[in-house]
Structure 1
Amino acid sequence: MFTKLLHLEPKRRDAIINAALKEFASKGYDDASTNVIAKESGISKGLLFHYINTKKDLFLFLFDYCNQVLKEEYFDLINFNERDILERFRQTYLLKVDVIHKYPRIFEFIKVALLTETNEVKKRAGRKKKNGAIIRL
Structure 2
Amino acid sequence: MEESKEHAILIAAIHEFAVKGYAQASTNQIAQSAGASKGLIFHYYGYKEKLFEESVNYALDFSMKALDFKKWDLSDDLMEKLKGYCEQELLFCKNYPDFYQLIVQAFTRPPKQLTDKMGRLFKDLQLMVPQFINQMINALDLKDDVDTKTLQHVLFSHYQYYSSQAMDHLKKHPETTIDELRPFINQYLAMNAMSLRGLQKHDK
- Check whether TM > 0.5: yes
Aligned position for 1:28: 21
Over alpha carbons, which structure has the higher Rg? 2
Aligned position for 1:9: 3
User: Which structure ranks higher in relative contact order (CA pairs < 8 Å, sequence separation ≥ 6)?
Assistant: 1
Partner of residue 88 from structure 2, selected from 86, 93, 101: 93
Contact 1:22 1:105 in 2 (8 A): yes
User: Structure 2: any 5+ residue segments left out of the alignment?
Assistant: 129-162, 167-204
Residues 1:74 and 2:67 aligned together: yes
Q: Please give the TM-score of this superposition, normalised by the length of structure 2.
A: 0.51
Equivalent residue pairs, number: 128
**CA distance change for structure 1 residues 72 and 90 in 2, over 3 Å: closer, same or farther?**
closer
Contact 1:66 1:110 in 2 (8 A): yes
Residues 48-127 of structure 1: pairs in structure 2 closer than 5 A: 48-76=41-69, 78-81=71-74, 83-84=76-77, 85=80, 89=84, 93=88, 96-97=91-92, 105-127=98-120
1:19 counterpart letter in structure 2: A
User: Structure 1: any 5+ residue segments left out of the alignment?
Assistant: none
**Secondary structure at the residue paired with 1:83?**
coil
1:20 counterpart letter in structure 2: A
Q: Distance in 1 between matches of 2:3 and 2:50?
A: 21
Contact 1:67 1:134 in 2 (8 A): no
Q: Distance in 1 between matches of 2:44 and 2:25?
A: 18
**1:25-61 deviations in Å (ceiling 9; x for gaps):** 0111111111110011111111111221111001111
